[in-house]
Amino acid sequence: MINRTMAKNLSGGGYTAHERIGYIDALKGFAILCVVLGHIADGYLDGNTFPESSYMLYCIYNVIYAFHMPLFMMISGFVYCTAYFDDSGLPNQKRIHRQILNLVAVYFIFSIPFGLFKVACGRLVNKGVNIKDVLMVWAKPITPYWYLYALIGLYLIFSIKKINLFDESICIAILLCVSLVSSFIHFKYFALTNIMYYSIFFYIGMLYKKNKSLNSGWLVVALFVFSVVLMAMFWDKAYDTGTAIGYLPIAKLFVALGIILAIWFVFEHIGFLSNNSLLKLCGKYSLEIYVIHCVFTAGFRTIFPKIGITNVYLSIIFNFIISTAIPILFSILCKKLNIHGLFFKPVTYITNLKKQN
C-alpha cells in the first residue's frame, strides 16, 4: 500500500520526498501512452491519411478519448494531494504556489514554440494556428497545452483552504453539476470549460488519496459494466470524431468515471502492471512526453508516406514508438547535462542556481 511520502507531481518536477508510488507511476505511463496513441489516431483521421482504415482509427480514438484525460486528471488530483497537502489534510499554499509558477513557465516554454511551429508548417498541420493565436496563449491555450492551463486553474482553486473544509458529499454534488453544465458552455478563453468539466475527476483523485474509499471490487466492476453499456448505447455510428461517445453529457461523464475507476483498481491491485518497468519509465517522464510528443506525431504522419511507409499498422506503431522515445531520450540527455530543470521546472531551477551563486 501507499506510504505517506511525497510523490512526484504529474505535471513535472522532482520529488520532495524519497519514495515513488509504483502503481501511480505505472498509471501515469499508461495514461500518457494513451494520449500519444489518441493524438496519432486523431491526426490520421483529421488528415484523412488512411481513408480505408478510418473506422479502425475512429474506434481507437473513441475508446481512448472516452477516458484518457479524466484519468490524467484523477491522477493529478491524487498526486496534488499527496505532494502539496500537510499531515493536517490542508494545502500547503506556499509550495502549491511555487509549483504553479513552474507550471506557468513550462506552459509558455513549450506552447509558444509549438504555436510558432504550427504557424510555420501551415498546411502540413491539421489544426492550424496564426500569429494572433500564439500571442494569445496567455488567455487561449493551443492544443494540446490546454491541460497544463487547466491544471494551473485547478491547483489554484483547490489551494483554497475553505474548499478543502467543505463536506465531501456536498463538494462532489456541486462539482458534478459544474461538470455537466460545462458541456453547454463553449467559452474559448482561460480553459474555463475544461476546468469545469475535469474538476470532478481532479477532486475524486484527491478524495481517493485522503480516504482510500474506492477499494470495493464489486462497486468498480458494476460501474465499469455500466459505463461499457452506456458507451455501446451512445456509440456514434456516423463516426463523427468530434464526439467520443454521444450527445448526452451525463453519459459521457459516467462512461469516463466507470472506465477510469476500473483501470485504477486494476493497476493498484495487479502486480505485473503496477511493477511494469516500461510503464513506470513512461510515467516518470509523463510531463516530458506530454509537452513534446505532438511535434513528432504530426511530423511523422506527413513524413512516413513520403518514405514508403504506407501500411496503417506500421505507421501507427513506428509513430507511437518514436514519438514516445524521443521525449524520454531528450529528458535523459538533459539530466546528464544538468539542464533538465531549466525546461521542466524552470522557476525552481533558476532559484537553485541563484542560491548556489
CA trace torsion 127, 130, 133, 134 (10° rounding): 110
- pLDDT of 353 reads 87
Instruction: Write out residues in the chain with pLDDT < 70, as ranges.
Output: 1-20, 122-126, 212-215, 236-247
Measured CA to CA, the distance from residue 75 to residue 9 in angstroms comes to 9
Grid coordinates standing for 163? Answer: 474548499
CA trace torsion 107, 109, 110, 116 (10° rounding): 120
Q: Does a structural domain hold residue 134? A: yes
Residue 87's SS3 state is: coil
Q: How far is CA 165 from CA 31, 84, 221, 331, 340, in A?
A: 30, 16, 31, 39, 37
Q: Does a structural domain hold residue 4? A: no
Measured CA to CA, the distance from residue 60 to residue 63 in angstroms comes to 5
Q: Does a structural domain hold residue 15? A: no
CB 83 within 8 A of CB 325: no
- pLDDT of 213 reads 57
Q: How many domains, in total, are found in the chain? A: 1
Q: Does a structural domain hold residue 10? A: no
Our measurement of the distance from residue 32's CA atom to the centroid of its chain's CA atoms, rounded to an integer in Å, reads 7
pTM of the model: 0.90
Q: CA gyration radius for the chain? A: 20
Other beta carbons within 10 angstroms of residue 334's beta carbon come to: 16
Per the structure, the complete domain to which residue 238 belongs is given by: 22-356
Residue 211's SS3 state is: helix
Q: Does a structural domain hold residue 13? A: no
